[in-house]
Structure 1
């Protein structure tokens, strides 16, 4: 750092730095009234902060040798704040907090290895599902770092395999409802708006946030489609864009869905007249505001335990839609587009499970037939 005396008597403190991508020498400066020990110290701090700011957008691209896991996590979070929904960001924020705790914030990203990661992430007392979820989130972040040139080599990721999860396989059938179970659940629902919301999700495959965000204008009876263009963030209580690009879609109304939507619209208009509010929402409370997700989840859980002997989540209704379409012979590609999935493992698993079960049932029927 050096100083330059200005005509007005003040002092300019100047420092050089090298821009890493171009190799060019650049300067930053700050002006103080006097050149004293205190101002020199203050100038040094200010200039270093300005250099850091100037380098922040470029230096990490060439900083692979000493990029720490904490720095990588910060970069990943900054990206996700603008790229994913608030609820997804929140989930991944806590997932990366766990990574930092288990793997060490100061660990160099380039020194991560399969052996080290497995020794820290796979804990003896943790359930396989917990470990596998941890591995999934870790791999997603590291792959993002590689795709954005923050990490040069990630071949070790192929050596980190998910744990066998027998319980998860056995519980696959718990991720969706049989047609008879769905009918039993709906028959037990005495609160109309929860009955209608449950029916809509099972017949359309909409996520709960997508269903709660629907307005009257989104229901296009002329074209026989539901326009899905937004979602209600139940954590931060605000409407945001859909979860993914493919989530922005039109869902075709099959006859029973169309009939249901006419009933829902009629019921909502009746509630408007009864409680005297103005709202364009398809589903709303007595004040015309968004229905509370947690109230719905609680009602769904209590009703399913009472009728089916096990708790049901809102996502089970979405998977139920997948299973019902699979059972009706609808191709997987069509189902995937309808529910707005880019690539969902659970959708494929539910589909394959249902179709395989149908084959077994068909074989059993044929085995009892005598043709000659």
Structure 2
């Protein structure tokens, strides 16, 4: 097919006809190539993709982008995967046809990650992203041989979570000089909410009579975009409130409903018509709690409950974990006293 030159931009483009997956006649036009050769190569690549369709002879780059376009990813997750791909994967595998990727190439990539990433968990995240594309090719493109199948997975190193005592939190929280942030952080400490969940709350999510919050959405703290779904399926649940936290919310509701002329229950509990900015909250938090990240509040909530004898299955429900193993792996070390209490049965003879 001929290649054309745009007389306005002095760049080349191709225009070609093809049939889509439904057999309909279509035209593809792509512009902006610096040379005629680049335009011709791009056209040939496009026609090859159309011809091979869902075949494992497509390149890793093609299948990676197909995975992005056909998977329901959060915007934040998509950005992370795109960045990891550009930095670590594309140069090594992007141009290779999926069915031509070799085991030794994958082994070398694993070694590169283990040597160059700041932590084993960072290496594991990128390796998992690489494996996801392999699995996508197996599921949708007929890839028969997984080149990573015999390679040792990168193990997850689960750090012991940091937490602060309730006494320390209460001793310092009043040093937060903004009432909205002070009350938001109190809510997080005494409910175990993630920061995105707390900042996404509207008054529609609150029931003062039942003393509970309904968690059904979260906020991407990098761009303040609200997603109408929780972090995970198990995260969508009802969260009970201590009486004193419920009293704080009742007072906030009365104050906001009197101060905002057009107030309704769609207003954000910590904000108004718009949610607060996470960057400002984080700055205020680190001024008072420099040794803890903000997720420590969630761990502190769980730790306080565990240390005060709350059953681990109840803790799983309160933390909204999908599996009891997640709760046990993170907090079972706090149940040492319960082990001692259990073994005392032998002393009661």
TM-score range, shorter chain: 0.7 to 0.9
Q: What SS does the aligned partner of 2:115 have?
A: coil
Question: 1:334 and 1:141 mapped to 2: Cα distance?
Answer: 37
Question: Whose Rg is larger?
Answer: 1
Residue 78 of structure 1, CA deviation: 0.9
Aligned residues between the structures: 320
Answer whether contact 2:196 2:221 (CA < 8 A) is retained: yes
Question: 1:189 and 1:18 mapped to 2: Cα distance?
Answer: 59
Answer whether contact 1:225 1:250 (CA < 8 A) is retained: no
The two structures have a TM-score, normalised by structure 2, of: 0.72
1:354 matched to 2:334:
yes
Task: Please name the residue that 1:95 is paired with.
Answer: 84
**Equivalent of residue 291 in structure 1, options 255, 268, 276:** 276
1:203 matched to 2:194:
no
Task: Please name the residue that 1:327 is paired with.
Answer: 307
Task: Please name the residue that 1:67 is paired with.
Answer: 58
Task: Please name the residue that 2:322 is paired with.
Answer: 342
Q: What SS does the aligned partner of 2:70 have?
A: helix
Residue 354 of structure 1, CA deviation: 2.0
User: What whole-Å deviation, never above 9, does each CA across 1:292-346 have from its counterpart, x for those lacking one?
Assistant: 11111111122112xxxx1322x22223333333334445554444444435986
- Gaps spanning 5+ residues in structure 2: where? 2-15, 28-39
Question: 1:271 and 1:27 mapped to 2: Cα distance?
Answer: 57
User: What whole-Å deviation, never above 9, does each CA across 1:58-78 have from its counterpart, x for those lacking one?
Assistant: x543x11x2322112101211
Answer whether contact 2:89 2:130 (CA < 8 A) is retained: no
Residue 275 of structure 1, CA deviation: 6.8
Question: 1:217 and 1:92 mapped to 2: Cα distance?
Answer: 34
- Gaps spanning 5+ residues in structure 1: where? 2-13, 31-43
User: What whole-Å deviation, never above 9, does each CA across 1:136-176 have from its counterpart, x for those lacking one?
Assistant: 333344334434455333373463332685xx64xx142x3
Q: What SS does the aligned partner of 1:122 have?
A: helix
Q: CA separation of 1:17/1:197 partners in 2, compared to 1, >3 Å: closer, same or farther? A: closer
User: What whole-Å deviation, never above 9, does each CA across 1:197-224 have from its counterpart, x for those lacking one?
Assistant: 1121222222222211211121123444
Q: What SS does the aligned partner of 2:148 have?
A: helix
Q: What SS does the aligned partner of 1:159 have?
A: coil
The two structures have a TM-score, normalised by structure 1, of: 0.68
Residue 121 of structure 1, CA deviation: 2.6
Q: What SS does the aligned partner of 1:214 have?
A: coil
Q: What SS does the aligned partner of 1:107 have?
A: coil
Answer whether contact 2:215 2:239 (CA < 8 A) is retained: no
Name whichever of 90-99 and 330-339 sits farther off: 330-339
Q: What SS does the aligned partner of 2:193 have?
A: coil
